[in-house]
Chain A
Amino acid sequence: MTRNDILWREPDPVEPAEIRRLLDDALGPEPAMRMDPDALLQRALRRERRIRIASMSGAVAAVATVTLGLALVTSSPALEDGPATPSRLVPGASVEQEPSSSSPPSTSTPSPSGGHSKHQVRTTPHVSRTYAVSPPPSRDERPRSVQRVPDIDEQPIEQPPMAP
């Protein structure tokens, strides 16, 4: 039976001195201290220098990031003057297209009904050829003729006759 057994067997509250004695027992014989105050000071100085450099680097990086961000924002093409080209627009944004003023009215022979008749066939913009089909001819005018209405900047190309 050790001294601690005697101390803690009693149900009464323990005295602080007894607990202190228990802690003193727990300490036991103390080994020699290996800590060198001078070496610790050098370590502390190195650590402080490292922290200072890290904080300065962080501040410089933050300033550089803000400057770069501001430069990017101010030189953004969206803020420049002038009409927005389709390449600058956000995908999905609606664009109001004006009718093309560069192409003059067609000089070809108008159809009898005036303007574009319901027989007029327009191909895709890439092809950009307009064909005006004349109204149904009389029986003695066969074969049917197809008149082509060329664009202004397009050389006339001979087209095969369209199927009836």
Chain B
Amino acid sequence: MKILLQNILRFLVLLLVQVLVIDQLQLSIYCRPALYVYFFIALPVSIPRWAEFFIGFFVGLTLDSFANTLGINMAASLLLCYIRPLLIKAMVSDENIVPGFAPSLKTFGTGLYIRFISILVTIQHLLLFSIEAFSLVGWWNTLLRIIISSAVCIGIILVIEKTRKR
């Protein structure tokens, strides 16, 4: 119950930060971190896979509604939710997974955690920006966008994890 509330709260906070702060700041065309990925990253491992799909679908839909990009966040989030459990399985051995286990800097250890979020964040940005730029020739711009936005996003997530209470 506590974990559920914690996750709902985290979703609401990240949604508001994403929609009202990051998307409004409009720092640069190249810097548009999709910080809400952190919500997926920090979901508990014990969650059933079908439920994770529906969460990804719903979160993507909510963000799309704000950004007028119906489908883009949805498709990217869904794929992320598909990859995440497979990645965790490959990175963490089964005996380490106790009830209530969720990926974080503490449970993963610094090196592994950075690798874990780097892969997921980069995949998410890769999908988001390449679907968005589908009809455009400027692939060089898109690549630059993916690299800069992912780097900023990974940085913010690490800062959040560092300041998190034990």
Do the two chains bind? no
| Partner-B contacts on A (CB < 8 A) | none
